[in-house]
């Protein structure tokens, strides 16, 4: 019989981050995390496949936010306008109240190459999901992939700024600023030569 523990998942997440920061990621076991909030190791594994996964639990909600943003864009919006809408939605996932815990989480991830790798792979998967949503909305490749990857680049850059020491600007502000910066970069780029004839 599986006993339902109200709020167990969230309590485990909070406890895990506390222990990873205070004791160290390697020095913390799933059993330690569960025990610190009066739960069993077995309960821990009902919610998370391993102790790394606790740090990435929000991934699917974040993906849902991005995809909802793509869907919320105006009919006939350009691919980058859809991506802009997705970025706005992603920012609502990270209100300023979340910044402190996002910083703590990142300090754990940055200290462990394997966690950094997992994060990069999750971001790549997120770009893939956004590209798929754009294709489903009628955008062909390579335009869909180019726009989706651009969105993840902007998100990553803005997010890294958002959690930097002393930063107080909101994520949405930083995302808009990064979008604007990229747009200006393209305006300053040399205009592409006319396409040469393909090799054949």
Interface with its own copies (CB under 8 A): 78-81, 84, 96, 117, 120-121, 124, 142-143, 145-147, 149-150, 153-154, 156-158, 161, 168-170, 173, 176-183, 185-193, 195-196, 198-200
Distance of CA 82 to the CA centre of its chain: 17
Q: How far is the CB of 190 from its own copies (least distance, A)?
A: 5
Q: How far is the CB of 45 from its own copies (least distance, A)?
A: 23
Two structure tokens written together for 25:
């990621």
Q: How far is the CB of 51 from its own copies (least distance, A)?
A: 20
- Tokens 């109240």 sit on residue: 97
Q: How far is the CB of 98 from its own copies (least distance, A)?
A: 14
Of 7 and 192, nearer to its own copies (C-beta) is: 192
- Tokens 């600007």 sit on residue: 169
| Dihedral-angle region of residue 7 (phi above 0 means left; psi in -120 to 50 means alpha; beta otherwise) | left
- Tokens 């754990």 sit on residue: 108
Two structure tokens written together for 122:
């999750």
Of 82 and 105, nearer to its own copies (C-beta) is: 82
* Coil/strand/helix, residue 55: helix
């Amino acid at each position: 019989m599986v006993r339902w523990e109200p709020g167990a998942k969230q309590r485990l997440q909070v406890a895990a981050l506390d222990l990873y920061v205070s004791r160290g990621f390697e020095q913390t076991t799933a059993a330690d995390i569960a025990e610190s909030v009066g739960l069993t190791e077995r309960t821990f594994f009902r919610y998370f496949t391993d102790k790394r996964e606790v740090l990435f639990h929000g991934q699917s909600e974040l993906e849902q936010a991005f995809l909802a943003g793509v869907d919320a864009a105006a009919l006939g919006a350009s691919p980058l306008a859809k991506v802009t809408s997705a970025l706005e939605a992603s920012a609502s996932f990270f209100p300023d109240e979340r910044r402190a815990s996002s910083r703590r989480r990142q300090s754990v991830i940055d200290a462990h190459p394997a966690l950094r790798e997992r994060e990069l792979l999750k971001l790549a998967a997120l770009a893939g999901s956004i590209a798929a949503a754009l294709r489903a909305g009628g955008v062909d490749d390579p335009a869909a992939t180019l726009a989706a990857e651009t969105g993840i680049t902007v998100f990553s850059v803005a997010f890294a700024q958002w959690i930097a020491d002393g930063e107080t600007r909101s994520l949405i502000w930083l995302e808009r600023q990064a979008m604007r910066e990229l747009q200006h970069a393209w305006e300053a780029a040399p205009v592409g030569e006319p396409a040469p004839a393909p090799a054949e």
